[in-house]
Structure 1
Amino acid sequence: MLRRRDFLGATIGAAIAAMLPGRARAGAKPVRVALYKAGGVHPVAFAAAKALLEGREGFRLRVTVPGDIRGGSLADEDVVVFMGGSGTAQGRNLGDVGKQQVKDFVARGGGYVGVCAGAYMALQGEDQFHKLRIVAGRNLTGDFWQRGIEGLEVSAPGREPFKLFYANGPIFTPVAVEGLAPYVPLATFVGEIYNLSKGTGPGEMPGTPAITASQFGKGRVLLFSPNPILGGRGVVHEALMLSGLRWVATPGDVRPDVSFADVFG
């Protein structure tokens, strides 16, 4: 969940471009991406995703509002993206019909990318938080989510630790859910941030997933607790988002041994 708009707004100008490792095949169909826009989507997070994808080779971007989704617009998409802000508000604005449309889309083979609040929304949780419940996980500290905003170091097998922009994203912890395979951690937090006065404490973040991959029906789900496309120099890793979109748009099972390199190159 994003907060402190002034701070976040300043990050957009500092974002550095990153390219995918390799180009799309000549003549390949673009990845059709629906970027959700509604109350609860932080305008800075939305603007960063829109700027990244609009006009980018190999992608076709469509901004999608709740009424579009309720009307069945995801049938024309490969991936739906939910960015940061408030997951509860985003789910509430989708409504029951819209949430079911998203679940059906992924179950049929569509891709889901959730960043920060969009990741919260995909997890298990109480009805009042309007969760999709398409991933067998929850936030470790439940309703206590306020930790702070900072570039935090994460690690992934086969590469040097790197920083991603964290802004109150979920601390993934597994939950056994009938019919759902466990999520697969792709990268884990090394650093941590917490706010004792808000109910979050030390030792809760290190070693927990920063990025997860999972399956829902025939579709792939990719969740980022931190935001890979905000934060400024040394923290922005736009290629993670671009590679991730391509991966979730590709048909296939999510193997239990899927790795960071499999998804991001």
Structure 2
Amino acid sequence: MKVGLFIPCYINQLYPQVGIATLELLEKLKVEVVYPPGQTCCGQPMANSGYENESEGACKNFVENFKDFDYIVTPSGSCAYHVKKHYNIIEQTPSVKNVRNNIYELCDFIVNILKIKDVGATFPFKVGVHKSCHGLRGLRLGSCSEIVGDSYSYIENLLQNVNGTQIMPLSRADECCGFGGTFAVTEEAVSVKMGKDKIKDHLDNGVEVITATDTSCLMHLEGLVNRNNQPLKVMHIAEILNSQITETL
């Protein structure tokens, strides 16, 4: 199995520790990982801003960099969703179809491709899971509260086997945090209120650390937490699954 690692632009620029944790975790799980140096943005920001046609170059570059891999893994549900669902704007060559079919969000890849439940991590804290919208309703990384059926969550499946971690139930578990890409810019007041409501839900339920599959959502929540001096830490799921922390943060 040859795996290409895609690190989204905002992680590369603002949260490089998430990219490092993803690489280290995959290597611990005995995955042959390659980081194509020519990779750039997947094109999602331009598409979300109404400039989808302007993103064709980014899409084609993505395919060129990852077309020869068995799987593409990324610590971003929204980027994985964008490639899977929105690359129909470019010609559907065999390479494009291969990339779209074989890109996976990190937890999805570990649970459903590697078939691993316990990654050997230690993280003795009370964790609240933020289920990002693209991952939840787009990639189906978990069950949605509005749909009657069996309850599941790939991120919680992995956290349940992390030594010392307590998953804290939330009152509104799959509610949006308000980030929504450019929504946070164009509708700032609404976005902030949604974020504050989400943080309150975590605080009310005794959460010490908020985690998610998308650093973009976590960036939004972390900004509000820091601005209001609230007693919460924000960490990407890759950092927790790669952790061997045995004492307080």
TM-score bracket relative to the smaller structure: 0.3 to 0.5
TM-score (norm 1): 0.32
Larger radius of gyration: 2
Structure number with higher helix proportion: 2
